[in-house]
Amino acid sequence: MLAEIARSGAVIADESLADTIVVNTCGFLGSARDEALGVIRDLAQRKRQGTLRRLIVAGCLVQRDGQRLCAAVPEIDALVGVHNREDIVRAVWATPRSRRVDLYLGEYHGQPWSDQARLRLTPVHYAYVRISEGCDQQCTFCTIPSIRGPLRSKPPAQIVAECAELLADGARELILIGQDTTSYGVDIGYEPGLAGLLRELDRQCTAARWIRLMYAYPSVFSDAIIAALAECPRVVKYVDLPLQHIHDRVLRAMGRRVTRAQTEALLHKLRSRIPGLTIRTTFIVGFPGETEAEFQTLLDFVRAFRFDAVGAFPYSCEPETPAARIPDHLDENVRAERYARLMETQQAVAFAAARERIGTTFDIVVDGVGEDGRSFGRHAGQAPEVDAVCRLTGTAVPPGQFLRVRCVDAEGYDLVVEPTGATPSP
């Protein structure tokens, strides 16, 4: 969208200087919706003060709530849903007409789409590559299928072309994303699936140092995918595998199509077949009807398995989902308390793992400079924006540089590292 706006003749400026602002939103969780509404209301205040000419809201929250957003924030000038990305330029340049809101809110319609010719907001050295859109899994708590529609995979040749463009633009880390990456190719009859795509990218994207897989779904994580992760040298030994829970009754209520035994078998295969693999996961706590005993089962599992990274969300009730109709919704305070206990349990695991890294050497990529003046980066087992970081001692290092470092200390989740002077692995 940003590139289309720029090509239309608009000058892309700092938010504080802009006279037209597009807020691209998430509508998946209540906390994300509250955050978006807070930003929109702040911008509405600027519009009332006369320092902002036009306010446009786009994305999932628009697709989910539609014109109800205008009732909450009357200063909105245009709404652009997820299926109307091509209308963003019209929304930006439209001439204000009294208080009529410009609506671009079409229903889902299957169509080819491309993410080439982007104007990226990420640092030059890494880029997100969307390999699919939508999801067919139908988890009972999730609004994504109703917002984004069914699974649509990009053809492999299109993904390769997009990656080539990003690499030519300076990217050295490609981060593969989609609401369900492990089902890639099912809808277009691409039989090699995600495993085939990983091998194709590994073969053709020779300028990439790292290719990272995010948002894998456990019930369709095949042996072929495991083999591709293990055998492709450019594919980092890292997987983001949201499990959501481990108790069988809760998993059934969530519609996850996987059991505890199947989950544990998959995790065992991943660790045994891919030495050094980093496994990141997320869990939902306080799902309707979750008992204290079932939650304790989850805590024991997290403590015993020692995941490399864990994120968690207190259950968010989405009225249009099947989970909203399940009885015995838990009090908000109970959900918050269980969230805190889960993160405390994982914190002990993560802090111990960070201390075990002291004295080891590994490669990192430098991402930037923190508020403390130190450069920070990531090793292959750390994804940007969601995982811990490596903080460098000494003088600042330019972003995008790969270094061989030694871990000399740990600061909570983060590692303190110093360059060794050795050449990093190719």
Q: Which of 311, 255, 241, 259 is nearest to 283 (CA)?
A: 311
- Provide φ and ψ at 260, rounded to 5°: -60, -45
Distance CA 404, CA 63 (A): 45
> Which whole number is the average pLDDT over 216-243?
96
pLDDT bucket at 384, cuts 50 / 70 / 90: very high
The per-residue pLDDT for range 118-132, each reduced to its tens digit, is 988 889 999 999 999
User: In the predicted model, what is the mean pLDDT of residues 73-97?
Assistant: 89
Would you identify the CATH topology of the domain 2-104? Answer: Rossmann fold (3.40.50)
Residue 56 CB partners (closer than 8 Å, separation 6+): 20, 21, 22, 23, 76, 77, 78, 79, 80, 88, 91, 92
CATH topology (fold) of 126-356: pyruvate-formate lyase- activating enzyme (3.80.30)
Q: Which of 259-268, 317-326, 375-384 is least confident? A: 317-326
Domain chopping of the chain, boundaries = 2-104, 126-356, 361-419
Q: For residue 295, what pLDDT band results from cuts at 50, 70 and 90?
A: very high
Structure confidence by residue, pLDDT tens digits, 13-43: 888 899 999 999 988 777 888 899 999 999 9
Q: Looking at residue 98, what is its pLDDT? A: 61
Instruction: Name the class of domain 361-419.
Output: mainly beta
Helices (H) and strands (E) in the chain, counts: 13, 17
